[in-house]
Protein backbone atom coordinates (compact mmCIF):
# COMPACT_ATOMS: atom_id res chain seq x y z
CA UNK A 1 0.00 0.00 0.00
CA UNK A 2 1.03 3.67 -0.27
CA UNK A 3 2.01 3.90 3.40
CA UNK A 4 4.51 1.05 2.95
CA UNK A 5 6.99 3.40 1.34
CA UNK A 6 9.96 5.36 2.68
CA UNK A 7 12.12 7.80 0.75
CA UNK A 8 15.68 8.97 1.26
CA UNK A 9 16.28 12.66 0.66
CA UNK A 10 19.03 14.08 -1.54
CA UNK A 11 19.73 10.93 -3.52
CA UNK A 12 19.35 10.31 -7.28
CA UNK A 13 16.09 8.99 -8.71
CA UNK A 14 16.26 5.26 -9.40
CA UNK A 15 15.29 4.03 -12.84
CA UNK A 16 13.10 2.40 -14.03
CA UNK A 17 10.14 3.73 -11.99
CA UNK A 18 9.27 0.23 -10.78
CA UNK A 19 12.74 -0.05 -9.25
CA UNK A 20 12.18 3.19 -7.33
CA UNK A 21 8.82 1.96 -6.02
CA UNK A 22 10.30 -1.34 -4.92
CA UNK A 23 13.29 0.40 -3.33
CA UNK A 24 10.97 2.65 -1.30
CA UNK A 25 8.94 -0.36 -0.20
CA UNK A 26 12.10 -2.26 0.72
CA UNK A 27 13.38 0.70 2.73
CA UNK A 28 10.19 0.86 4.79
CA UNK A 29 10.46 -2.88 5.46
CA UNK A 30 14.08 -2.34 6.52
CA UNK A 31 13.09 0.47 8.88
CA UNK A 32 10.55 -1.97 10.34
CA UNK A 33 13.34 -4.59 10.83
CA UNK A 34 11.61 -7.00 8.42
CA UNK A 35 14.76 -8.14 6.68
CA UNK A 36 13.07 -11.08 4.96
CA UNK A 37 10.75 -8.80 2.99
CA UNK A 38 13.23 -5.93 2.59
CA UNK A 39 15.71 -8.42 1.14
CA UNK A 40 13.10 -9.79 -1.26
CA UNK A 41 12.43 -6.28 -2.59
CA UNK A 42 16.03 -5.04 -2.70
CA UNK A 43 17.14 -8.20 -4.52
CA UNK A 44 14.57 -7.50 -7.23
CA UNK A 45 15.63 -3.85 -7.45
CA UNK A 46 19.24 -4.74 -8.27
CA UNK A 47 18.00 -7.02 -11.05
CA UNK A 48 16.09 -4.09 -12.53
CA UNK A 49 19.07 -1.72 -12.18
CA UNK A 50 22.38 -3.53 -11.62
CA UNK A 51 24.36 -0.28 -11.98
CA UNK A 52 22.62 1.43 -9.04
CA UNK A 53 25.01 1.76 -6.08
CA UNK A 54 22.20 2.82 -3.74
CA UNK A 55 20.26 -0.31 -4.70
CA UNK A 56 23.21 -2.54 -3.85
CA UNK A 57 23.57 -0.64 -0.56
CA UNK A 58 19.99 -1.65 0.22
CA UNK A 59 20.60 -5.28 -0.69
CA UNK A 60 23.68 -5.34 1.56
CA UNK A 61 22.00 -3.48 4.42
CA UNK A 62 19.14 -5.99 4.44
CA UNK A 63 21.78 -8.59 5.37
CA UNK A 64 23.61 -6.45 7.94
CA UNK A 65 23.05 -6.05 11.67
CA UNK A 66 20.58 -4.05 13.75
CA UNK A 67 19.48 -4.17 17.38
CA UNK A 68 17.62 -7.45 16.80
CA UNK A 69 19.82 -9.25 14.27
CA UNK A 70 23.45 -10.09 13.61
CA UNK A 71 24.87 -10.67 10.16
CA UNK A 72 23.94 -14.25 9.28
CA UNK A 73 26.05 -14.70 6.14
CA UNK A 74 29.20 -12.59 6.00
CA UNK A 75 30.24 -13.98 2.63
CA UNK A 76 27.02 -12.71 1.03
CA UNK A 77 27.07 -9.42 2.91
CA UNK A 78 30.70 -8.79 1.93
CA UNK A 79 29.90 -9.55 -1.71
CA UNK A 80 26.94 -7.15 -1.88
CA UNK A 81 28.67 -4.33 0.01
CA UNK A 82 31.65 -4.60 -2.32
CA UNK A 83 29.37 -4.59 -5.36
CA UNK A 84 27.83 -1.31 -4.15
CA UNK A 85 31.30 0.20 -3.96
CA UNK A 86 32.28 -1.07 -7.41
CA UNK A 87 29.32 0.55 -9.19
CA UNK A 88 29.47 3.82 -7.21
CA UNK A 89 29.86 6.85 -9.51
CA UNK A 90 30.63 10.53 -8.80
CA UNK A 91 27.17 11.51 -10.04
CA UNK A 92 25.59 9.42 -7.28
CA UNK A 93 26.45 12.27 -4.94
CA UNK A 94 27.96 12.58 -1.46
CA UNK A 95 25.10 10.99 0.46
CA UNK A 96 25.03 7.77 -1.56
CA UNK A 97 28.83 7.65 -1.34
CA UNK A 98 28.62 8.00 2.44
CA UNK A 99 26.07 5.20 2.71
CA UNK A 100 28.05 2.88 0.46
CA UNK A 101 31.37 3.58 2.18
CA UNK A 102 29.77 3.06 5.59
CA UNK A 103 28.97 -0.57 4.79
CA UNK A 104 32.58 -1.25 3.81
CA UNK A 105 33.40 -0.74 7.50
CA UNK A 106 31.13 -3.66 8.43
CA UNK A 107 32.86 -6.06 6.06
CA UNK A 108 34.96 -8.79 7.65
CA UNK A 109 36.67 -10.30 4.57
CA UNK A 110 37.68 -13.63 6.07
CA UNK A 111 34.52 -14.21 8.09
CA UNK A 112 32.18 -17.06 7.25
CA UNK A 113 28.62 -17.58 8.37
CA UNK A 114 27.78 -15.28 11.26
CA UNK A 115 31.44 -14.55 11.99
CA UNK A 116 31.24 -16.18 15.40
CA UNK A 117 34.90 -17.21 15.18
CA UNK A 118 35.91 -13.56 14.76
CA UNK A 119 33.45 -11.96 17.14
CA UNK A 120 35.91 -9.38 18.49
CA UNK A 121 36.57 -8.10 14.98
CA UNK A 122 32.87 -8.18 14.11
CA UNK A 123 32.09 -6.14 17.21
CA UNK A 124 34.75 -3.57 16.33
CA UNK A 125 33.19 -3.08 12.90
CA UNK A 126 29.93 -2.01 14.51
CA UNK A 127 31.62 0.79 16.42
CA UNK A 128 33.55 1.83 13.31
CA UNK A 129 30.29 2.05 11.37
CA UNK A 130 28.69 4.17 14.09
CA UNK A 131 31.69 6.50 14.29
CA UNK A 132 31.64 7.02 10.52
CA UNK A 133 27.90 7.63 10.22
CA UNK A 134 27.82 9.92 13.25
CA UNK A 135 30.55 12.25 11.99
CA UNK A 136 28.52 15.38 11.22
CA UNK A 137 25.40 13.70 9.78
CA UNK A 138 23.87 16.19 7.37
CA UNK A 139 20.19 15.27 7.38
CA UNK A 140 17.44 13.30 9.10
CA UNK A 141 18.23 10.06 7.28
CA UNK A 142 21.88 10.09 8.32
CA UNK A 143 21.05 11.10 11.90
CA UNK A 144 18.59 8.21 12.19
CA UNK A 145 21.11 5.80 10.66
CA UNK A 146 23.74 7.11 13.08
CA UNK A 147 21.43 6.31 16.00
CA UNK A 148 20.67 2.92 14.47
CA UNK A 149 24.37 2.09 14.26
CA UNK A 150 25.07 3.26 17.82
CA UNK A 151 22.23 1.17 19.23
CA UNK A 152 23.29 -1.88 17.20
CA UNK A 153 26.81 -1.59 18.64
CA UNK A 154 25.45 -2.55 22.08
CA UNK A 155 22.02 -4.04 21.32
CA UNK A 156 19.55 -3.91 24.21
CA UNK A 157 22.29 -2.75 26.55
CA UNK A 158 21.74 0.98 26.70
CA UNK A 159 21.75 2.05 30.35
CA UNK A 160 23.99 1.89 33.41
CA UNK A 161 22.28 2.67 36.72
CA UNK A 162 19.59 4.71 35.01
CA UNK A 163 21.94 6.70 32.77
CA UNK A 164 22.50 6.23 29.07
CA UNK A 165 25.85 4.78 28.18
CA UNK A 166 28.08 7.62 26.93
CA UNK A 167 28.12 6.52 23.28
CA UNK A 168 24.31 6.47 23.21
CA UNK A 169 23.81 10.06 24.30
CA UNK A 170 24.42 11.13 20.71
CA UNK A 171 21.77 8.66 19.55
CA UNK A 172 19.26 10.03 22.06
CA UNK A 173 19.99 13.63 21.09
CA UNK A 174 19.56 12.94 17.36
CA UNK A 175 16.36 10.94 17.84
CA UNK A 176 14.88 13.41 20.30
CA UNK A 177 15.53 16.27 17.86
CA UNK A 178 13.95 14.34 14.99
CA UNK A 179 10.85 13.37 16.96
CA UNK A 180 9.17 16.75 17.14
CA UNK A 181 5.82 18.17 15.96
CA UNK A 182 7.88 20.76 14.10
CA UNK A 183 9.59 18.16 11.92
CA UNK A 184 8.38 15.73 9.28
CA UNK A 185 8.12 12.27 10.87
CA UNK A 186 10.99 9.90 10.16
CA UNK A 187 9.89 6.29 10.57
CA UNK A 188 13.27 4.87 11.59
CA UNK A 189 13.78 7.63 14.15
CA UNK A 190 10.32 7.03 15.66
CA UNK A 191 10.92 3.28 15.79
CA UNK A 192 14.32 3.64 17.43
CA UNK A 193 13.28 6.26 19.99
CA UNK A 194 10.55 3.95 21.27
CA UNK A 195 13.11 1.18 21.74
CA UNK A 196 15.59 3.52 23.41
CA UNK A 197 12.93 4.98 25.71
CA UNK A 198 11.16 1.78 26.75
CA UNK A 199 13.70 -0.07 28.97
CA UNK A 200 12.82 0.14 32.65
CA UNK A 201 16.39 1.13 33.45
CA UNK A 202 16.01 4.37 31.50
CA UNK A 203 13.64 5.97 33.98
CA UNK A 204 10.08 7.24 33.71
CA UNK A 205 11.06 10.58 32.15
CA UNK A 206 12.45 8.86 29.06
CA UNK A 207 9.39 6.62 28.83
CA UNK A 208 7.13 9.67 28.88
CA UNK A 209 9.20 11.26 26.12
CA UNK A 210 8.78 8.01 24.22
CA UNK A 211 5.07 8.82 24.03
CA UNK A 212 5.89 11.51 21.47
CA UNK A 213 7.29 8.84 19.17
CA UNK A 214 4.48 6.40 19.99
CA UNK A 215 1.76 8.93 19.23
CA UNK A 216 3.44 9.92 15.95
CA UNK A 217 3.99 6.33 14.79
CA UNK A 218 0.60 5.05 16.00
CA UNK A 219 -1.33 4.11 12.84
CA UNK A 220 1.07 5.95 10.53
CA UNK A 221 2.34 2.96 8.55
CA UNK A 222 -0.63 0.77 7.74
CA UNK A 223 0.60 -2.47 6.25
CA UNK A 224 3.58 -2.95 8.56
CA UNK A 225 2.50 -5.07 11.49
CA UNK A 226 5.62 -4.40 13.52
CA UNK A 227 5.51 -0.62 13.08
CA UNK A 228 1.77 -0.61 13.73
CA UNK A 229 2.39 -2.47 16.98
CA UNK A 230 5.32 -0.37 18.22
CA UNK A 231 3.26 2.24 20.05
CA UNK A 232 1.89 -0.53 22.27
CA UNK A 233 5.33 -0.82 23.92
CA UNK A 234 5.07 2.66 25.38
CA UNK A 235 1.30 2.66 25.91
CA UNK A 236 1.53 -0.35 28.20
CA UNK A 237 4.20 1.31 30.33
CA UNK A 238 2.27 4.57 30.78
CA UNK A 239 -1.13 2.95 31.38
CA UNK A 240 -2.74 3.69 28.01
CA UNK A 241 -3.87 0.11 27.64
CA UNK A 242 -6.84 0.74 25.33
CA UNK A 243 -4.55 2.51 22.86
CA UNK A 244 -2.09 -0.37 23.14
CA UNK A 245 -4.85 -2.86 22.34
CA UNK A 246 -5.92 -0.85 19.29
CA UNK A 247 -2.34 -0.73 17.99
CA UNK A 248 -1.97 -4.47 18.53
CA UNK A 249 -5.22 -5.19 16.68
CA UNK A 250 -4.07 -3.15 13.69
CA UNK A 251 -0.79 -5.06 13.74
CA UNK A 252 -2.68 -8.34 13.76
CA UNK A 253 -4.72 -7.25 10.71
CA UNK A 254 -1.52 -6.29 8.88
CA UNK A 255 0.17 -9.57 9.76
CA UNK A 256 -2.87 -11.64 8.79
CA UNK A 257 -2.88 -9.93 5.39
CA UNK A 258 0.81 -10.82 4.93
CA UNK A 259 0.18 -14.48 5.69
CA UNK A 260 -2.75 -14.62 3.25
CA UNK A 261 -0.37 -13.44 0.53
CA UNK A 262 2.50 -15.78 1.55
CA UNK A 263 4.55 -12.85 2.87
CA UNK A 264 6.48 -13.07 6.13
CA UNK A 265 5.32 -10.72 8.91
CA UNK A 266 8.03 -9.60 11.30
CA UNK A 267 7.81 -10.97 14.85
CA UNK A 268 4.08 -11.62 14.68
CA UNK A 269 4.14 -13.59 17.93
CA UNK A 270 5.84 -10.72 19.75
CA UNK A 271 3.25 -8.29 18.38
CA UNK A 272 0.45 -10.55 19.64
CA UNK A 273 2.22 -10.95 22.98
CA UNK A 274 2.11 -7.19 23.58
CA UNK A 275 -1.59 -7.27 22.72
CA UNK A 276 -2.04 -9.91 25.41
CA UNK A 277 -0.17 -7.81 27.99
CA UNK A 278 -2.14 -4.63 27.25
CA UNK A 279 -5.40 -6.62 27.38
CA UNK A 280 -4.52 -8.28 30.69
CA UNK A 281 -3.50 -4.95 32.22
CA UNK A 282 -6.81 -3.46 31.01
CA UNK A 283 -8.76 -6.36 32.53
CA UNK A 284 -10.11 -7.40 29.11
CA UNK A 285 -10.25 -11.19 29.20
CA UNK A 286 -11.91 -11.66 25.79
CA UNK A 287 -9.35 -9.45 24.06
CA UNK A 288 -6.44 -11.28 25.71
CA UNK A 289 -7.92 -14.63 24.64
CA UNK A 290 -8.24 -13.45 21.02
CA UNK A 291 -4.56 -12.48 20.86
CA UNK A 292 -3.47 -15.70 22.60
CA UNK A 293 -5.52 -17.93 20.32
CA UNK A 294 -3.95 -16.28 17.28
CA UNK A 295 -0.50 -17.23 18.61
CA UNK A 296 -1.64 -20.84 18.29
CA UNK A 297 -3.55 -20.76 15.00
CA UNK A 298 -1.09 -18.67 12.96
CA UNK A 299 1.49 -21.48 13.12
CA UNK A 300 -0.34 -23.44 10.41
CA UNK A 301 -0.31 -20.41 8.09
CA UNK A 302 3.43 -19.92 8.50
CA UNK A 303 4.00 -23.61 7.77
CA UNK A 304 1.90 -23.41 4.61
CA UNK A 305 4.72 -21.63 2.77
CA UNK A 306 7.69 -22.75 4.84
CA UNK A 307 8.10 -19.55 6.87
CA UNK A 308 8.95 -19.17 10.55
CA UNK A 309 8.05 -16.56 13.14
CA UNK A 310 11.20 -14.85 14.43
CA UNK A 311 9.73 -13.87 17.80
CA UNK A 312 11.84 -14.98 20.71
CA UNK A 313 11.08 -17.46 23.47
CA UNK A 314 7.57 -17.85 24.82
CA UNK A 315 6.13 -15.12 22.58
CA UNK A 316 6.67 -17.07 19.33
CA UNK A 317 3.83 -18.25 17.13
CA UNK A 318 3.66 -21.99 17.77
CA UNK A 319 0.99 -24.67 18.24
CA UNK A 320 2.60 -25.30 21.63
CA UNK A 321 2.15 -21.75 22.95
CA UNK A 322 1.12 -21.63 26.60
CA UNK A 323 -0.20 -18.07 26.29
CA UNK A 324 -3.88 -19.02 26.17
CA UNK A 325 -3.63 -21.22 29.26
CA UNK A 326 -1.79 -18.47 31.13
CA UNK A 327 -4.38 -15.86 30.15
CA UNK A 328 -7.23 -18.03 31.39
CA UNK A 329 -5.29 -18.79 34.57
CA UNK A 330 -4.76 -15.07 35.12
CA UNK A 331 -8.47 -14.36 34.87
CA UNK A 332 -9.48 -17.44 36.85
DSSP 14: P
Please state the rounded mean pLDDT for residues 207-221: 93
Three-state SS at 140: helix
pLDDT band, very low/low/confident/very high, at 4 (cuts 50, 70, 90) = confident
Q: Which residues contact 200 (CB under 8 A, 6 or more apart)?
A: none
Q: Is residue 64 part of a domain?
A: yes
Report residue 237 CA to chain centroid gap: 20
pLDDT band, very low/low/confident/very high, at 314 (cuts 50, 70, 90) = confident
- If one counts the domains in the chain, the total is 1
Q: Is residue 182 part of a domain?
A: no
Q: Which residues contact 276 (CB under 8 A, 6 or more apart)?
A: 288, 291, 292, 323, 327
> Which pLDDT does position 158 carry in this prediction?
93
> Which pLDDT does position 312 carry in this prediction?
87
Please state the rounded mean pLDDT for residues 200-225: 88
- For residue 104, count other CB atoms closer than 10 A to its CB: 17
Domain CATH code at residue 104: 1.25.40.10
Q: Rounded to the nearest 10 degrees, what angle do helices 93-104 and 53-61 cross at?
A: 40
Q: Is residue 59 part of a domain?
A: yes
- Cα-Cα-Cα-Cα torsion 225, 228, 230, 233, nearest 10 degrees, comes to -100
pLDDT band, very low/low/confident/very high, at 200 (cuts 50, 70, 90) = confident
pLDDT tens track for 8-62:
999 999 999 999 999 999 999 999 999 999 999 999 999 999 999 999 999 999 9
Q: Which residues contact 89 (CB under 8 A, 6 or more apart)?
A: 53
pLDDT tens track for 257-281:
999 999 999 999 999 999 999 999 9
Q: Is residue 77 part of a domain?
A: yes
Q: How far is CA 35 from CA 32, 64, 180, 214, 267, in A?
A: 8, 9, 28, 22, 11
Q: Is residue 30 part of a domain?
A: yes
> Which pLDDT does position 48 carry in this prediction?
99
For the cut 90, the answer to whether the pLDDT of residue 205 exceeds it is no
Distance (Å, whole) CA 62 – CA 41: 10
Q: Which domain holds residue 68?
A: 1-125
Q: Is residue 84 part of a domain?
A: yes
pLDDT band, very low/low/confident/very high, at 65 (cuts 50, 70, 90) = very high
> Which pLDDT does position 215 carry in this prediction?
96
Distance (Å, whole) CA 102 – CA 166: 22
Q: Which residues contact 327 (CB under 8 A, 6 or more apart)?
A: 276, 280, 285, 288, 289, 292
Higher pLDDT, 307 or 3: 307
Please, what is the average pLDDT of the chain? 94
> Which pLDDT does position 286 carry in this prediction?
98
Q: Is residue 327 part of a domain?
A: no
> Which pLDDT does position 3 carry in this prediction?
65
Q: Is residue 269 part of a domain?
A: no
Amino acid sequence: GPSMSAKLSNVPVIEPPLAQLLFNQALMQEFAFNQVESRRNFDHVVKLNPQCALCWWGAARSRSSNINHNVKDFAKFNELALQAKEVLRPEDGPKVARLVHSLQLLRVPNATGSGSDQWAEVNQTRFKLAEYLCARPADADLKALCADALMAATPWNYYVQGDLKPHLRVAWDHLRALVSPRRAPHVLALHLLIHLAEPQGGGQDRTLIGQLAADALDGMVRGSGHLDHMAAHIYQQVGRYAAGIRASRRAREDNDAYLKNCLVPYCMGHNLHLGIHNSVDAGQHRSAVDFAQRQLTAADEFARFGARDKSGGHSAVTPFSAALALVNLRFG
